[in-house]
Amino acid sequence: MLALLVVAATFRDYGVTWDEGVQARYGELVVDYFRSGLRDHRADQFLSLRIYGPPFEAAAALITAPFPDAKWELRHLLTALVGLLAVPGLIICARAARMPRVGPVAAVALLTMPRYWGDLFANSKDVPFAAAFTLAMAALATVVTSPGRPVRTVVRAGLAIGGAAALRPGGLPLLVAMLLVSLVLSGGPVASLAAAARRGVDALAKGVAALAVAWLVMIAFWPWAHVAPLSHPIAAMARAASLAKVYPVLFEGGVVPSNQLPARYVAEFLLITTPLPLLTLAVAGLCVALRRQWRAPGSAAARVLLLLELWWLVPIAAAAVVRPNVYDGLRHFLFILPALALFAGLGALTIATAPRASTTRVLATLAVVVALLWPVPALVRLHPYQYTYFNELVGGLAGASGRYETDYWVASYREAMRWIQDPARARPDHRPLRVLVAANELSFTAAEAYAGPDVDLVRLTGPTTEDRLPDGIDYFIATYRHGMNRTFPAAPVVHEIGRDGAVFTTIKAARGAKPTA
């Protein structure tokens, strides 16, 4: 309930992000496809978005259409509400593992993770998938604890997997692997080789049935898949596993092509962007889980814990081995954070409830509470840029600035546009301000969404050798990403936007423009 209240109070504070404009447009084109009776295929030709599932974007387009003036704020609210659906998924997983009190604690751990909370409002690509993946894992945990694997339980799992894959088709192979693991783990140990063979055949049959259900759900609202229901989804999965476009990534102080990042990239980002107390609790929880599995290896709880461990650890290991073309830190792996939160919840509850003297127990409980709430001051300080959080291992956000990507989605352009449009900076002749924005065709919306009638925006899409702003330009807005802030070095910096000692966006002015007050 508290999370809902905070979402309701703050969702208007978040800026439009780099990809959000094209994501919203894709949703509108998908709606047009269905309104045309499946004849309008513009969604299939819109950039490369055809390889992504459109259910969330189409739903957002329908809901926001009657409210054009509040389009972006409503999208942020919807994204956050969908992201909060990870919470019931965590609670179901914890119950399946016979640790029901862990669920609410895990929810606290997840919602105080700055990287999850910061993405919660404007990341319509990865937040809905993270929530749907959590619900799918909850369904699979139920399969593990269902003797005989009832058909209805397997069908529910197929529906949940299909719902997640409908958002990110590239995630289906991992979800299918988790499905097979859950089917193998269900039912406990077997008495003979023949019984194992029978169980294997039954698991295979029900796995195929669940996959068929998942496939139908995945393609139901996907225009490109309607053209070729088998080959196009497979092509999308292959494309997701090996993106063709390579991006420059700031990593450990150097710029590295996204397809040449070291094997440790994902693991390192998890290490340096998770609050250390939560990470410590998660490791403690993993140790507790391993101990329980050692003591009762055939129990239902041990089998569910194995499934949850694989959820957390397999994607990290796979990234290290396969080394996919990734970027933007943990963005593509946001779905593992709920798993980490589960183990943090297990660690926290174990420490707080371990048998000991009453005074020691009180101190242990206080320590756990402090650990769980440790990120809250950072959540407040960084607002609304919580997704830029780095922990003490790299000196916090200030230490990470210049070494790692911080505001990689230029959400700070909203604040820059608000500053420029302050009445104190209006032109004396009442003409519109001309503002040059360092942006490409994707990120330009991050500024354009907040431009009023008294501002004319011009896009700067590439490098320039000019020292000063072009004639007629009043201000220049530039992200620190890709060093765009270094453009026009002779133009004076009149305002900077950032948090915790790191600068995200610089505003430069022409001569005569009004600087910061």
- 88-114 pLDDT, tens per residue? 999 999 999 999 999 999 999 999 999
Q: Are 454 and 487 in contact (CB under 8 A)?
A: no
Q: Is residue 406 part of a domain?
A: no
Residue 475 has pLDDT above 70, yes or no: yes
Give the end of a domain, one of 373, 398, 429. 373
Among 338, 202, 343, residue whose Cα is nearest residue 285: 343
Looking at residue 49, what is its pLDDT? 93
Residue 188 binned pLDDT confidence (cut-offs 50, 70, 90): low
Q: Is residue 516 part of a domain?
A: no
Q: Which carries the bigger pLDDT value, residue 244 or residue 324?
A: 324
Q: How far is CA 323 from CA 76, 245, 385, in A?
A: 31, 15, 28
Percent of the chain scoring above 70 in pLDDT = 96
Q: Which amino acid is at 492?
A: P
- pLDDT at residue 197, as a whole number: 74
Sign of torsion over alpha carbons 256, 261, 262, 266 = positive
Do 178 and 276 fall into the same domain?
Answer: yes
Strand partners, 478: 506
Measured between alpha carbons, how far is residue 70 from residues 36, 60, 188, 233, 417 in Å?
26, 12, 52, 34, 17
pLDDT digits (tens, 9 = 90+) for 22-64: 999 999 999 999 999 999 999 999 998 999 999 999 999 999 9
- Supply the mean pLDDT for the chain: 92
Report the DSSP beta bridge partners of residue 458. 436
pLDDT surpasses 80 at 190: no
Q: Do 308 and 439 fall into the same domain?
A: no
> Using CA of residue 58, residue 60, residue 63, residue 67, what is the dihedral sign?
negative
- pLDDT top residue among 363 and 516: 363
> What is the predicted pLDDT for the residue at 510?
86
Distance separating alpha carbons of residues 208 and 202, to the nearest angstrom: 10
471, part of any domain: yes
Q: Tell me the per-residue pLDDT of 427-447, one tens digit each, with 9 for 90 and over.
A: 777 889 999 999 988 899 999
Report which of residues 227 and 247 the model is more confident about.
Answer: 227
Please check the confidence at residue 324 and state whether its pLDDT lies above 90.
no
Where do we find the tokens 């150097």?
254
- 290 CB contacts (<8 Å, ≥6 apart)? none
Does one domain contain both 444 and 499?
yes
The whole-number pLDDT of residue 428 equals 79
CA distances, 464 to each of 127, 446, 483, 486, 507 (Å): 36, 22, 12, 10, 17
Residue 10 half-sphere exposure toward CB, CA atoms < 13 A: 21
pLDDT tier at 204, thresholds 50, 70, 90: confident
Same domain, 223 and 169: yes
Q: Quick one: pLDDT band at residue 200, thresholds 50, 70, 90?
A: confident
Residues 292 and 361 in one domain: yes
* CA separation for the pair 442, 440 (Å, rounded): 5
In a domain, 196, yes or no: yes
368/443 same-domain check: no
Q: Of 316, 342, 373, which residue sits at a domain end?
A: 373
How many folded domains does the chain comprise? 2
Same-domain status, 326 and 426 = no
123, part of any domain: yes
Q: Report which of 84, 54, 72 is spatially closest to residue 16, judged by C-alpha positions.
A: 72
pLDDT class for 461, splitting at 50, 70, 90? Answer: confident
Same domain for 341 and 482: no
Residue at 101: amino acid letter: R
Contact 425, 456 (CB under 8 A): no
Question: Cα–Cα distance between 471 and 458 in angstroms, integer?
Answer: 12
What is the dihedral angle through the alpha carbons of 278, 283, 287, 292, rounded to the nearest 10 degrees? 50
The type of residue at 382 is: L
Query: For residue 336, is it within any domain?
Result: yes
Kindly state the average pLDDT of the residues 208-221.
96
Segment 303-315 shows an average pLDDT of: 96
Q: How distant, in Å, are the alpha carbons of 312, 464, 465, 507 from that of 458?
A: 44, 14, 18, 14
pLDDT surpasses 60 at 517? no
Q: What is residue 341's predicted lDDT score, i.e. its pLDDT?
A: 98
Is the pLDDT score of 226 beyond 60? yes
**How confident is the model over 357-385, as a mean pLDDT?**
92
Indicate whether 277 and 165 sit together in one domain. Answer: yes
**Do 189 and 56 belong together in one domain?**
yes
Residue 387 falls within a domain, yes or no?
no
pLDDT category of residue 359 using cuts at 50, 70 and 90: confident
pLDDT at 100: 95
* Closest of 19, 57, 44, 15 to residue 440, by C-alpha: 19
**Token pair in block for residue 242:** 């090996």
Of the pLDDT bands very low, low, confident and very high (cuts 50, 70, 90), residue 356 is low
φ/ψ of residue 509, rounded to 5 = -130, 155
pLDDT at residue 499, rounded to an integer: 96
| Residues contacting residue 444 through CB under 8 Å, at least 6 positions apart | 21, 437, 457, 459
pLDDT tops 90 at residue 244 = no
Residues 94 and 204 in one domain: yes
* pLDDT score recorded for residue 431: 87
Structure tokens at 168: 């990110």
Q: How confident is the model at residue 513 (pLDDT cuts 50, 70, 90)?
A: low
| Last residue within a domain, chosen from 344, 373, 402 | 373
* pLDDT score at 257: 94
More confident residue, 279 or 354: 279
Q: Determine the structural domain holding residue 145 and report its residue range.
A: 7-373
| Domain shared by 368 and 420, yes or no | no
pLDDT at 4 over 80: yes
DSSP helix/strand/coil, 455: strand
Residue 384 forms part of a structural domain: no
Token code pair at residue 263: 């094997």
